[in-house]
Structures are given as C-alpha cells and as structure tokens.
Amino acid sequence: MKLKIGITCYPTVGGSGVVATELGKMLAEKGHKIHFISSSLPFRLKERNCNIYYHQVEVSQYSVFQYPPYDIALANKMAEVINREELDILHVHYAVPHAVCAILAKQISGRNVKIVTTLHGTDITVLGEDPSLTDAIRFGIEKSDTVTAVSKSLISQTYDLIKPDKPIEAIYNFIDERVYQKIDSTYLKAEYGIPQEEKVIIHVSNFRAVKRVTDIIKTFAKIAESIPAKLLLVGDGPEVTIICDLVSELNLRGKVLFLGKQSNVEELYSMSDLMLLLSQKESFGLVALEAMACGVPCIGTNIGGIPEVIIDGETGFICELGDINTIADKAIYILMNDNIHKCFSDRSIEVANEKFRADLIVKQYEDLYFNLIRRSEQV
C-alpha cells in the first residue's frame, strides 16, 4: 500500500528541516506520494523525483494586519492539499505553528486525515517556556493523532514543560549512509592550505548563542598549544562577529577557517579528525551523527539528546557544559593517540549505521503511518 503524505517543515537550514526533507525523499523512493507544504522550497529538496510535489504557501500583505497571517494561510493551503490530493497523512514538524495549523486544516477540509507531529526541540525547550504559547503547544500535541520526538530527553522535557496528556514516541533522526560515509578527502587539505600532518577539528552550527561557539574557540586555543591543528567553522549566524573578535583576541586567525554555509559538508567531515558540539541546548545533535557516520569522533556536552548520539568512551566523550579544560584534555587525548582515534572512528561508523541508518528510521515512520491507517479503518 502506497500512501499520500503531506509534510510541513521550516524550509531553511536547520536540523528539523533537514530531517523532514530527507524523510520525504526516502519515502518517495519507496513509492509513497509526498507533498511538501511550506513557505518556500526546502533547501535540501534539489533532486527531481516523480513522487515529490511542492505546494507553496502564499501570504497576503493586507494593511489591516499588523503581521502577515502566515498561520492562517498555511492552514488554508494544508486544507486545500488535503482535499485535492486526498492525503492519508499530514506529518508536521514543530508543534507551533505547524501542529495547530494542521488541526485547523483538518477541520476546514472535513476529511479524516491523520496528523503526525514531530517535536524537534526549540518548539518545546524555548517556545515552551513562553506562557503566551504553552497552551497552544499543548493543544497541538494533544489533538494530533500521533506525536513523536527526536530523543528521549526531549520527551522528558516536553512532559516537564508542557505537561500534555498524550503519549509521545521517540524516533531518532537519521543519516543517509549513501551520502554520509568516510571518503578520501586528503585533496581538500591541500585546497585549504592545511599541511597533511596537522589535525583538523570541525564545528557545524547556526552560530547562535545556544551553540556556545565561544567555548569551541577557547577549547581550540588550548588544543592548539599542544598540537598543530586547524579549526573549521561551518555555518553562519548572529554570533559570527563575536567569534571573529575572539579568534583575533586569542591570536588564532591563521588557525581558524570560517567556511560559511557549505552544501557538501560530508567532504569536510571526512577530512576532519574531531567534531566539537558544546551546546547548552540540543535535542538531538544531528551534526554529531553526520560526523560519526564519516568516522569522526565527537566530543559533546552532557545536554539534551547529545548523550543519546555520542557514546561516552566509545565514539567520543561527553563532558559537562563549559568545562573547557576537560574538553581540551579529552580532545588532545584522542588526537595524540592514533590507536584510540581509530577505535573511536570505527565505532562511530558502526553506531551510526547500526542505530541511525535511514532504512531503519524510515521504517519506524512507515509503521507508525500504517498503524494509524489501520486503527482508523477498524473504527
């Protein structure tokens, strides 16, 4: 049985948009009809596939509205697609506004489409702390037919902050192992002017304060005192200027490469020796998983879902938030011991492919969809 599935996500760079888009692509490969409904084309949706359709949400700019009525326009477009395409499932990523819009769209359409909501993190850990949104988030969760979250940690946080009367299932994020795999990228070192003998440390993020990139720089400064190394900073965001100033202040300008947003980040992972993810909030840590799949050991903070991805002492280390000295010591230990590095690297690939590979996770979503359809038919 092939399903007709609507997917709504934020189309911009970010973990939730990446996972939602990759899930849609994988489902389309399996023959399901996938309808993306969003304000712009998801940035990972580049390849043509006859089972993938895109429906753009148009928001009118009426002077009577102080703010553009995106939520209403989204719900209206969802209802339109539900009816015209006879959707079986509407899978939305983020509780607000997407789950609330989906519930409204279901009422507008009059069809018994099944709503699946996936919680990704900031819709709970940040927006959930805002009293003006808490009840709406709870409503979106409780009125969905099924709710998933990307980590067990996020489930706990959801019950603590939102207190919904609804079971939530953990379905982890995943990687496409056809893309994220270790490749020979020694040529890249030459392209970036990095001597072959130097170690490469990588950090990938949106450079927001929550990512604690200043901790990355301070940690790297300590590492660079002991080991010839370069730091690759991949991504862009509001903290970049602050980071640039700190790099200059610590005399690291020749050792830190600001690469901005990159499309083929798997090549950068493959030439890296270590990934640092030192966030103060992180519901999963997709970049750590991507790095692990490419054989890169990771050091992450003991925050949110990070310990569910990085296995302490096997694929890297888990350290306490802000403990720069310990993080630097652990990094130096990995980088200076070739046997340890190889063990961590091999185990990282093993864990990524055993626990987080695409076919395993996509099947969990498929099973969830089919169970919803079967339960509906039995009523």
Beta bridge partner(s), residue 276: 299
Of the ranges 29-43, 44-58, 230-244, 308-322, which one carries the lowest mean pLDDT score? Answer: 44-58
Which three-class secondary structure string do you get for 164-211?
Answer: CCCCCEECCCCECCCCCCCCCCHHHHHHCCCCCCCEEEEEECCCCHHH
CA gap 99, 10 in Å, rounded: 12
pLDDT at 44 exceeding the cut of 90: no
Query: Rounded to the nearest 5 degrees, what angle is found at the Cα of 173, between the Cα atoms of 284 and 53?
Result: 130
Query: What are the residue ranges of helices labelled H in the chain?
Result: 15-29, 70-85, 100-109, 122-125, 131-143, 152-161, 186-191, 213-226, 240-249, 265-270, 286-293, 306-309, 324-336, 338-355, 358-378
Split at pLDDT 50, 70, 90, the class of 379 is low
- Do 283 and 343 meet the contact criterion of CB atoms below 8 Å apart? no
The CATH number of residue 236's host domain is 3.40.50.2000
- Do 306 and 300 meet the contact criterion of CB atoms below 8 Å apart? yes
CB-based contacts of 189, cutoff 8 Å, min separation 6: 195, 196, 198, 200, 271
Q: Is 177 exposed, middle or buried (0-12, 13-18, 19+ CB in 10 A)?
A: middle
Q: In this structure, are 373 and 250 located in the same domain?
A: no
Q: In this structure, are 204 and 83 located in the same domain?
A: no
Cβ-based neighbour number of residue 227 at 10 Å: 15
Split at pLDDT 50, 70, 90, the class of 13 is low
Q: In this structure, are 325 and 270 located in the same domain?
A: yes
What's the pLDDT score for residue 121?
87
Q: In this structure, are 159 and 222 located in the same domain?
A: no
pLDDT at 14 exceeding the cut of 80: no
Task: Calculate mean pLDDT across residues 13-29.
Answer: 89
pLDDT top residue among 10 and 361: 361
Q: In this structure, are 169 and 207 located in the same domain?
A: no
Task: Calculate mean pLDDT across residues 267-279.
Answer: 98
CA gap 306, 285 in Å, rounded: 6
CB-based contacts of 64, cutoff 8 Å, min separation 6: none
Split at pLDDT 50, 70, 90, the class of 51 is very high
- 167: preceding bond cis by omega (within 30 degrees): no
Q: In this structure, are 274 and 362 located in the same domain?
A: no
- pLDDT, tens digit, for every residue of 203-259? 999 999 999 999 999 999 999 999 999 999 999 999 999 999 999 999 999 999 999
- pLDDT, tens digit, for every residue of 285-333? 999 999 999 999 999 999 999 999 999 999 999 999 999 999 999 999 9
Domain residues for the domain of 34 are: 4-174+357-378
Coil/strand/helix, residue 373: helix
Q: In this structure, are 269 and 190 located in the same domain?
A: yes
What's the pLDDT score for residue 12?
73
From the list 214, 369, 225, the residue with the least C-alpha distance to 276 is: 214
Task: Calculate mean pLDDT across residues 186-200.
Answer: 94
Q: In this structure, are 230 and 127 located in the same domain?
A: no
pLDDT at 7 exceeding the cut of 70: yes
Q: In this structure, are 163 and 24 located in the same domain?
A: yes
- Do 263 and 192 meet the contact criterion of CB atoms below 8 Å apart? no
Q: In this structure, are 48 and 163 located in the same domain?
A: yes
Interhelix angle 358-378/15-29, rounded to 10 degrees, is 70
Position 36 in a domain:
yes
Q: In the numeric block, which tokens belong to residue 325?
A: 């000295």
Of the ranges 107-111, 264-268, 270-274, 332-336, which one carries the lowest mean pLDDT score? Answer: 264-268
Q: In this structure, are 33 and 142 located in the same domain?
A: yes
- pLDDT, tens digit, for every residue of 82-118? 999 999 999 999 999 999 999 999 999 999 999 999 9
- pLDDT, tens digit, for every residue of 339-351? 999 999 999 999 9
pLDDT at 353 exceeding the cut of 90: yes
Q: In this structure, are 65 and 148 located in the same domain?
A: yes
Task: Calculate mean pLDDT across residues 18-45.
Answer: 92
- Please count the structural domains in the chain: 2
Task: Calculate mean pLDDT across residues 54-64.
Answer: 88
Phi/psi-derived region of residue 234, left when phi > 0, alpha when psi is between -120 and 50, beta in every other case: beta
Position 180 in a domain:
no
Q: Which amino acid is at 213?
A: V
- pLDDT, tens digit, for every residue of 142-187? 999 999 999 999 999 999 999 999 999 999 999 999 999 999 988 8
CA gap 275, 301 in Å, rounded: 12
